[in-house]
Every structure is written in C-alpha cells, then in structure tokens.
Structure 1
Amino acid sequence: MLTASDGGTSPAADLANRVADTAAALLASARDAGMTITGDSRIKECDAAVLLGYAPDTLAKKRTQGSGPAAYSRGFGGARISYRIDDLAQWIEAGREVED
C-alpha cells in the first residue's frame, strides 16, 4: 500500500475522496429520482431512507437512537427532518470495513 510519503494518499485524504465520490453518487441518484434538494443539499428523511436502502421507519429509529447520519430538525416541504447529502456520504464511508 502506498503511503503519503510514497506519493500515495493519506488515510484522511482517502476518506475525503471516498466521501466526495459517495456524495456525488447520492446527489446524482437523488436528482435522477426527482427528489427535492435544497440549496444546501438537504433532502427529506423519506428520501434519505430511499437513497440508503432503508425503510423510512428504520432510518427514523436510527436517528432517535443516535446511530444514524447527522440530521436536521429544519425540515421543508412538509417534512420535519432533513439530511444533508454530505452527511449521508460521511456516515456511509465511516461504516466501511476494511480487510487487512
């Protein structure tokens, strides 16, 4: 494995790159699905659940238990809770398991 001193990327840079790639993919999927996206890239909780492959109730439960992605109590369009695309991507990548 290359290290930062070998010209490779540092673990932090690798994580940042993966998060950016995941966020771009989530944003494209949200747009393709016709989801409403706010100017600061937030989506409704039900839409976040779809992007993550969860039932809305499951994502809501993870939020209340503190095991889900960061959420905002600033909803929109009738939704009470919203999620930033970048926060969803960060949460996905933070859960990545790497084999040694």
Structure 2
Amino acid sequence: MFIKKFTHTIPPIHYEGVEVSWIRHRDLHLLTVGRFTYTSDQRFISIHNPMTEDWTLQIRYPQRRDSGVYECQVGTTPPIGHAMHLSVVVLPVGGV
C-alpha cells in the first residue's frame, strides 16, 4: 500500500506584472499559462498570489511518473525561463 494523498507544490517564482507559463520537459507539454490550464490532467494547477506576485505550480496526488524537469517561462522580452527538477518518491505506508 502506498501514500497517494499528497499535494506537491513547485517553489514559487516571483515576477511582477507578467504571466507565467509552466511546461513539462518530458513531453514539452504546455501545462498552464497564467491561471489557465492547458492539460486534461486536472491534478495540475497554477496558483498566483497577487499580494506577492508569486506563481506556483501545484500537482495534486503526484505520481512517480511526474518526476522530471518543469520550467516556468515568463512572458517578457526577451523571454525568461527557470527550470527545476522534481523527484517524486513513493514511500510504503508506515515506513520512512
């Protein structure tokens, strides 16, 4: 049995007055632009905090296959990108 009830949040990215897009490198899938989601996988959501201008990608119920590189791209000229690697480790219930 494995723990699956968990939400992982990729660290927030701070950019004032611009929208952030989140891309999954494994398949070059555009996940979100601003608050709009462009994947049928409803576990992915982009969260914007207008008080801090932070943008966060949240993955609900992350799975091992979600491991990989994710990139936020900022709609500036020239474009700015920040990539990060996510490792999802599934632990047995009751064990660490």
TM, length-normalised to structure 2: 0.28
Give the structure with the larger helix fraction: 1
Which structure is larger by alpha-carbon Rg, 1 or 2? 1
